[in-house]
With several copies, the nearest count.
Chain A
Amino acid sequence: MEFALTDEQRMLDESLRGYLARELPLETLKALAREGQGVSEKHWRELAELGVAGLMVPAEHGGAGLGVLDAAVAAEALGYAGAPVAFAGPAVMAPLAVSLMASAAQQAEWLPRMAAGEMRVAVAFAGGTGQTGRADVTLDGTTLSGAIDGVLDAAGATHVLTILPDGRAALAEVRGSGVTGEVKPTLDRTRPLSQVTFDKAPVAVLDASNDAAAAARRVRDAGRVMLAADTLGAAQAMLDKAVAYAKERVQFGRVIASFQAIKHMSAEMATELEPCRAMVWYAAHAADAIPEDAHVAACHAKAHVAEVGRFVQTKATEVHGGMGFTELMGLELWYKRISLDRHMLGSPERCRHEAAVAQGWVAG
């Protein structure tokens, strides 16, 4: 038994963190967030070159052929850096959905382009996630109509893959006829949400799965694990920043890190956060290898890490005092990142409800 990352996963983690530390200094990140649309084409391109876009694409289609756990490692690193790039959609949910649901021909057509970062697919759920906002589309043959709010990773995307409540999926081109993607000013300026409208948009239907509903659930669970991993990274960043700040900030003639109140707040954050890492790893590993546990683990990871994230985002800001409340130190970027993750693909309450249903504690 080895409950640990492999050497390859650790290398992936280090290389990503190294790249992000070099290429995404705080001032760059703040500037990107200030511009409002947030997502950075440059960083997406460079990350794609590092293999991030093709992480989950099977090797025979030009990807790295890695799993959800590898993706979770990357998501944590991106969350830690506050990276203004799309990830959960085009690099995780979309390749997984295509692998699970698309025909061999569709896979052969799309997956290599996705691995290259050239085809960037946002994933939109038309219900079933518990996410608030409009999610109302109908698939009529090969055309799609309706609207979905709060679509992650659609800014800069080339395609939107819509997953219907019954598990069917439909791929539309963002620049295709009948598709409107409106990027909305979003709380997290580094990951804006979009409102996507379809008006008899022509789509490619993905219907090669034997059990479409199960496949859709796997895609959604993978997305939830990514959001949990992202929050984990962002919360770890906030904790690290709080501890570092407390060691420097002097009040009453002492560094505030020497006050028991600050020390204990920091200890409480660390105590809540550290076990989240193993939880995210397990949920991701279960998505790859333990199908009977995967759904419950994903729901729990999403819910629990979101609750811990709220605790850490609050207390870490408090440790920073007034500076944490300003935009000066950029701390708020991570605060807002954690907030966004919480609300996407189902609230903690919703995810806990699903965990209860999946365990047979209550009827669905």
Chain B
Amino acid sequence: MDLSYSDRYRALQAEVRAFIATHRDRSPSAVGVRRKPDAAILAWQQLLVEKGYAARTIPTRYGGYGGEPDVMEAAIIAEEFSKAGVAAGIASQGISMLVPTLLEVGTEAQRERWIRPTIRGEVIWCQGYSEPGAGSDLANVQTRAVLDGDHFVVNGQKIWTSSAHYADWMFLLCRTEPEKPKHHGLSYLLLSMKTPGIEVRPLKTMTGKSTFNEVFFTDVRVPADQIVMGRGDGWTVANITLKYERMMLGDANKFMHRVHRIRELMEGTTIDGERLIDKPEWRDRLVRLQGEVMASKYHQMRLLTQQAQGVDPGLGRMIVKLYGTEMGYRLSALAVDVYGAAGLVFDPHDDMTGGADDAATSWHVDHMYDLGLIIGGGSSQIQKNIISERGLGMPREPKPAAR
């Protein structure tokens, strides 16, 4: 156990700190949150790519920095930007999911065409996976793509497409071989969101915000060479993509920050003249949650080390989503309870148009969004299936007998 950094990492840390100190004025206030990057963001992103603080491991021939993969370096960079409150470069599904997928299974032509503009933030991607009838059961995707000459013709509907209203391109999971078993009939297409026949409708959630969209396809023509791997390989490619999604660690520091924000709330909230922080039944609930957060924080440090050492954390990684989302929901529940009736004034601004929510509204939005996180990205029920089957080696449920 050695929680200090080695010389090399300390040097990187110093370098990042110096960079931030010099350039922090150029940092945009928020990056890529629910809207298309503006000029300031693009300039910042380009600077980060140059310095290797974004796209660090992308080969230079595709416009990246060409660094060796090193999770510790990535963690140090992320931590310094986070501590300084400086934008850490665009966090988009294109960069985090599609680019590594193309590096793994894309053709050379595909890599050359898309990686450079994607990591520079010039091309924004959205993810076309979930459908109304394919949520937990993602392989049940019904959006059809039929080959017509040198184009696929796409018809169907996607849902939960977060950046569809401003994205330039989409990576799409669709059914091209309906006669094959469900996992073998899928393909993975890349298509421009400007193609005729695409309709994007904002999808309002319980938070009052339209963080997501529905996307409808009517005879949308996609050049046949915009397929990743071959026909019927869609499930394989989608799982590669999802692997990279899952590799993004939840951020325990964010949760610890929440604990302290709630503590401040409890110091500032009085009932009948007594501060909530001085009421042990309230304080104990906060301290107990702090304990849960601490466990997750050290667990993440352990995972980071395992990743750096090339050890597969197995079960240790599988539990992260379930643990983090359930804990997050309990944390925001406490904040909402501390506000009590005074926090019920609720005036959320729409993501699409922007504007800042007041603090109580933010906590309520977070609380409901946390429930969304429990449900989305593989619900808690699906996570428990994964943990028990892959982590604990328990058998899959038997297939039902035909009736």
Contacts and interface: CB of A to CB of B under 8 A. Distances in A.
Let me know if chains A and B touch directly in the complex, using CB atoms closer than 8 Å. Answer: yes
Contact of B371 (A5, A266, A317): A317
A150 interface: yes
Given A247-B394, A321-B136, A325-B375, A274 B299 contact: yes
Contact of B319 (A259, A270, A310): A270
Interface stretch (A87-95, A200-208, A355-363): A355-363
B204 A326 contact: yes
Interface core residue of A307, A325, A336 (most chain B CB under 10 Å)? A325
B384 A264 contact: yes
B310 to A, nearest CB: 12
A322 B294 contact: no
B380 A318 contact: yes
A214 interface: no
Interface string A222-262: 00000000000000000000010011001111110111111
Determine chain B's interface SS by DSSP, over half rule.
helix
B343 A275 contact: no
Contacts of A310: 333
B344 A150 contact: yes
A180 to B, nearest CB: 16
Contacts of B304: 1, 3
B195 interface: no
B364 A282 contact: no
Contacts of B385: 260, 263-264, 267
A262 B300 CA distance: 27
Contact of B347 (A132, A185, A260): A185
B278 interface: yes
Interface residues of B, number: 91
Interface in A297-332: 297, 300, 303-304, 307, 310, 314, 317-318, 321-322, 324-328, 331-332
A149 interface: yes
Interface in A273-297: 274-279, 281-282, 285, 289-290, 297
B156 interface: no
B291 A285 contact: no
B3 A285 contact: yes
Contact of B3 (A1, A188, A331): A1
Contacts of B136: 251-252, 321
A279 B288 contact: no
Interface string B1-20: 11111100100000000000
Contact of B392 (A193, A267, A272, A282): A267
Contacts of A355: 287, 290-291
A80 interface: no
A68 to B, nearest CB: 11
Interface residues of A, number: 91
A252 B346 contact: no
B301 A3 contact: yes
A23 interface: no
Contact of A255 (B295, B376, B392, B395): B395
A4 B203 CA distance: 44
B340 A318 contact: no
Nearest to A350: B271
A6 interface: yes
A138 interface: no
A310 B269 CA distance: 22
Contacts of A348: 288
A361 to B, nearest CB: 6
B315 interface: yes
Nearest to B208: A327
B398 interface: yes
Contacts of B140: 251-252
Nearest to B203: A326
Contact of A340 (B263, B344, B387, B391): B344
B179 interface: no
A270 B302 contact: no
A342 B336 CA distance: 10
Nearest to B281: A349
Contacts of A343: 337, 339-341, 343-344
A243 B72 contact: no
B319 A266 contact: no
A272 B296 CA distance: 10
29 contacts: A1-B4, A1-B6, A2-B3, A3-B304, A128-B272, A132-B339, A251-B135, A252-B137, A262-B381, A263-B385, A263-B388, A263-B389, A263-B392, A267-B384, A267-B392, A279-B294, A300-B290, A304-B294, A317-B206, A317-B371, A321-B375, A322-B135, A325-B372, A343-B344, A349-B284, A350-B271, A353-B287, A361-B283, A362-B278
Nearest 3 pairs of A and B residues by beta carbon: A332-B206, A133-B342, A132-B340
